[in-house]
């Protein structure tokens, strides 16, 4: 679902050139492009949001590293 504040801001950007007099619409494409990019970004963000709902699943390696933080201090085997 698109957030209401993003919807209002992007709509205002896209409609803003219509509120200017005709002789001041020289750079009217810039706000329209920003509004369209905002709509696209908010839609893509909302589409990607359900993929993150799974949460963090710790692995066995991570739990061992947290349980024994000194395991990296063991001396390495040196062959001479």
Q: How far is residue 32's CA from residue 79's CA, in Å, rounded to a whole number?
A: 68
Tokens standing for residue 52: 């993150």
SS3 of 1-55: the string is CCCHHHHHHHHHHHHHHHHCCHHHCCCCHHHHHHHHHHHHHHHHHHHHHHHHHHC
Q: What is the pLDDT of residues 4-43, one digit of tens each?
A: 888 899 999 999 998 888 888 888 889 999 999 999 988 8
| Better-predicted residue by pLDDT, 63 or 6 | 6
Quick one: pLDDT at residue 63?
A: 57
CB neighbourhood size of 35 (10 A): 19
Q: What is the pLDDT of residue 24?
A: 83
Share of the chain above pLDDT 70, in %: 57
Residue 65: pLDDT band by 50, 70, 90 thresholds? low
């Amino acid at each position: 679902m698109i957030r209401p504040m993003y919807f209002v801001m992007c709509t205002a950007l896209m409609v803003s050139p219509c509120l200017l007099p005709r002789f001041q619409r020289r750079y009217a494409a810039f706000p329209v492009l920003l509004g369209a990019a905002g709509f696209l970004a908010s839609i893509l963000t909302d589409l990607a949001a359900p993929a993150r709902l799974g949460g963090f699943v710790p692995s066995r390696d991570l739990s061992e590293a947290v349980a024994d933080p000194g395991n990296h201090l063991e001396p390495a085997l040196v062959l001479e």
